[in-house]
C-alpha cells in the first residue's frame, strides 16, 4: 500500500501544529498597531512571522482536505476552500504589511494609518484600494470559513473532535472585537492557535499509526476524537 496518503497526513499535521504555535507566539506582548510601530524592526519581524503562519495554515488546510477529501464530503471541501481562501488573503495582507507599509510610512502616513485602522476592524479615513478587499476576504474566510471548517472536522471525526469544535468557536468569537479594545484581538487569537495545535497533533498521530488502523486507504482517527 502506498504511503503517499500518510505523508500528506504528516505534512498536514506538522504544518497545522506549527501554524498554531506561531499564531500563539506572535500574540505575546504584541504592541498596539500604530504608525510609530510600522517603522520598527519589531513590526517587520512580527508581520514576517504572520506570513509564515498564514502559509503554514494554508498548506495544512489544503493537505488535510486532500488527505480526507472523501470523508469530508462536499460540505467539508467547500468549507475548507473558504477557510483556505481566508488564509490566502491574510497571506497577501501580511506580505504587504511587512514589505510595503514600512517603506511608505514616512511619505504616506495617512494611508498607512488608514490601513492599520481597517486591519483592526475600523473605518479607513482614506481610500486604501485593494487592501480593503483583501481584508474583507480575510475576515470572512477566517470567521465564516473557520466556523464551517470546524463543524466539518467535528462531523468527519478525522481529527480530535474537541479541536474542531474549538476552531469553530474560536474563529466566530472574533465578531466580539467590533465592540472590544484591540488588546482582546490578541487574547481571542490564542484559542485558535490551540485548536490548530490540536488538529495538527491528532492528524500527525493518525498518519503515523500502524497499517492495521487503515480503512479504505485512510487512517482512522479513532482514539483522538
- The whole domain housing 139 covers 4-219
- In terms of Cα–Cα distance, which of 10, 139, 151, 165 is closest to 85? 139
Buried b vs exposed e over 131-153: b needs ≥16 C-beta within 10 Å?
A: beebbebbbebbbbbbbbbbbbb
Q: How many domains does the chain have?
A: 1
For 192: left if phi > 0, alpha if psi spans -120 to 50, otherwise beta; the answer is: alpha
Q: What is the pLDDT of residue 151?
A: 96
Residue ranges of the chain with per-residue pLDDT less than 70 = 1-5, 176-184, 210-225
Decide if 42 is inside a domain: yes
113-127 tens-digit pLDDT: 999 998 888 888 888
Identify the sign of the CA torsion 174, 179, 185, 190: negative
Q: Answer yes or no: is 105 within a domain.
A: yes
Residue 188 lies in a domain: yes
Is residue 89 within 8 A of residue 141, CB to CB? The reply is: yes
In this prediction the pTM is: 0.86
User: Does residue 224 sit within a domain?
Assistant: no
pLDDT in tens, 34-83: 899 998 999 999 999 999 999 999 999 999 999 987 888 999 999 999 99
What is the rounded CA–CA span in Å between residue 44 and residue 180?
26
Cell of 15: 504544518
Say what the pLDDT of residue 218 is: 45
Whether 154 contacts 140, CB under 8 Å: no
Alpha-carbon distance of 161 to 167, in angstroms, equals: 10
pLDDT score, position 122: 80
Amino acid at each position: 500500500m502506498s504511503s503517499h496518503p500518510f505523508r500528506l497526513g504528516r505534512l498536514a499535521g506538522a504544518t497545522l501544529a506549527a501554524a498554531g504555535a506561531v499564531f500563539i507566539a506572535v500574540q505575546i506582548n504584541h504592541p498596539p498597531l500604530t504608525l510609530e510601530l510600522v517603522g520598527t524592526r519589531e513590526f517587520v519581524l512580527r508581520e514576517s512571522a504572520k506570513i509564515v503562519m498564514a502559509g503554514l495554515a494554508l498548506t495544512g488546510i489544503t493537505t488535510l482536505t486532500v488527505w480526507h477529501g472523501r470523508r469530508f464530503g462536499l460540505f467539508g471541501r467547500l468549507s475548507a476552500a473558504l477557510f483556505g481562501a481566508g488564509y490566502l488573503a491574510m497571506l497577501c495582507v501580511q506580505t504587504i504589511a511587512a514589505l510595503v507599509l514600512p517603506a511608505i510610512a514616512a511619505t504616506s502616513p495617512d494611508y498607512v494609518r488608514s490601513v492599520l485602522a481597517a486591519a483592526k476592524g475600523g473605518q479607513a479615513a482614506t481610500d486604501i484600494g485593494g487592501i480593503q478587499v483583501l481584508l474583507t476576504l480575510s475576515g470572512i474566510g477566517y470567521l465564516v470559513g473557520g466556523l464551517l471548517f470546524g463543524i466539518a472536522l467535528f462531523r468527519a471525526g478525522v481529527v480530535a473532535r474537541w479541536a474542531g469544535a474549538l476552531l469553530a468557536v474560536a474563529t466566530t468569537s472574533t465578531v466580539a472585537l467590533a465592540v472590544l479594545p484591540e488588546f482582546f484581538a490578541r487574547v481571542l487569537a490564542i484559542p485558535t492557535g490551540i485548536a490548530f495545535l490540536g488538529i495538527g497533533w491528532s492528524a500527525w498521530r493518525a498518519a503515523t499509526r500502524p497499517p492495521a488502523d487503515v480503512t479504505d486507504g485512510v487512517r482512522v482517527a479513532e482514539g483522538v476524537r
